[in-house]
Amino acid sequence: MTQSPPRLLQYGKMPLPVLDRELAAQFDVTVLSEQADRAGFLAEHGAAFEYVVTTAAMGLPGDVVRALPNLKFVSSFGVGFDALAQASLLERGVRVGYTPGVLDDCVADMAFALLLDAARGLSAADRFVRRGDWSRQRFGLQTRASGKRLGIFGMGRIGGTVARRASGFDMEVAYHNRRPVEGSPHLYLPSLLALARWSDFLVITAVAGADTRHIVNTEVLDALGPQGFLVNVARGSVVDEAALVAALQGGNIAGAGLDVFEDEPHPLPALLALDNVVLSPHVASGTFETRRAMADLVLQNLAQCIATGQPVTEVPWSAEAAAARHG
């Protein structure tokens, strides 16, 4: 007798359409976003689902978790987990898989693309040429990146990859974390404020959460200074976007490169009018190679968790949260 495939609740459509097709081929999939009455569907059918797939951008709200009494595992496409209902998931003992490692290179590449664009004004120069301004005036002098000081807030996998990229530009690297990274050859500074004061370029690769929300604020931006640049490839919530706008408008910092925003896909309108900021639509991991690897890991996490109860890569909730989970 042929065994029926496991039922899977897909919170919404995946960023990679082929993953939608592969999930449908391997599981009995229901896409929650396609249900006309989401709450009604969950009330009637929620108990039938043990497995959920979502993305870091979509997350998984607490009301959905609570409507799935038999939920065992969530497989998330992405590395951020601030949009997942941590308290509800931990309370229920639900394991959560995510896709770290496979996107480190592309996110680090994007950090440097934004850094170089912001420093050398590449996007602004492109607009300058397209407007026909080149025939009437010279494009202004910009800032050299090589040989400068690069500060990294969040020396995890991605931060470490950014640091390796910096060696090719002869940059001096320092970082700030909750604690020093054992074996790191780079200078550890005890606070984000100290790191900002030290840096010519401040790259944000820190995990988002309640303790990092708006941690890059007016004080930090003032410390970075009128010749400093901010690059954010982490999460928009880490930076106080209104404070950043004020710093860019007032010349308190020289420029910025942003792949993430507080209210995606709606950056503050004032950002759109500024020539000293480069804006990218949250696509740091957006290459064919990386998205394919992320999709593979979503599927691997599901398969291994169903077979053994343990995913390949599990979200590293804080020590306090993990302790609460395990009693």
The total number of structural domains that make up the chain: 2
- Residues 7, 264: Cα–Cα separation, whole Å: 31
Identify the CA nearest to 217 among candidates 196, 198, 234.
196
Residues 91 and 119 in one domain: no
Is residue 235 flagged as an active site residue?
yes
pLDDT in tens, 39-78: 999 999 999 999 999 999 999 999 999 999 999 999 999 9
The residue annotated as part of the active site, out of 120, 282, 292, 325, is 282
Q: The domain that contains 62 carries what CATH number?
A: 3.40.50.720
The residue annotated as part of the active site, out of 44, 219, 264, 289, is 264
Identify the CA nearest to 285 among candidates 14, 78, 61, 97.
78
Residues 205 and 261 in one domain: yes
Residues 175 and 263 in one domain: yes
> In the numeric block, which tokens belong to residue 146?
């090589």
Residues 6+ apart with CB under 8 A from 315: 76, 81, 84, 96, 97, 98
Residues 208 and 222 in one domain: yes
Report whether 242 contacts 250 (CB < 8 A). no
Residues 219 and 245 in one domain: yes
Report whether 115 contacts 232 (CB < 8 A). no
Does 19 map to a domain?
yes
Residues 193 and 79 in one domain: no
pLDDT in tens, 233-261: 999 999 999 999 999 999 999 999 999 99
As a dihedral over the C-alpha atoms of residue 82, residue 84, residue 88, residue 90, rounded to 10 degrees, the angle is -70
Average pLDDT over residues 18-27: 97
Does 256 map to a domain?
yes
Is residue 314 flagged as an active site residue?
no
> What is the SS3 assignment for 12?
coil
Is residue 264 flagged as an active site residue?
yes
The residue annotated as part of the active site, out of 176, 235, 241, 291, is 235
Does 210 map to a domain?
yes
Residues 241 and 199 in one domain: yes
Host domain of residue 183: 104-279
Residues 168 and 224 in one domain: yes
Residues 270 and 163 in one domain: yes
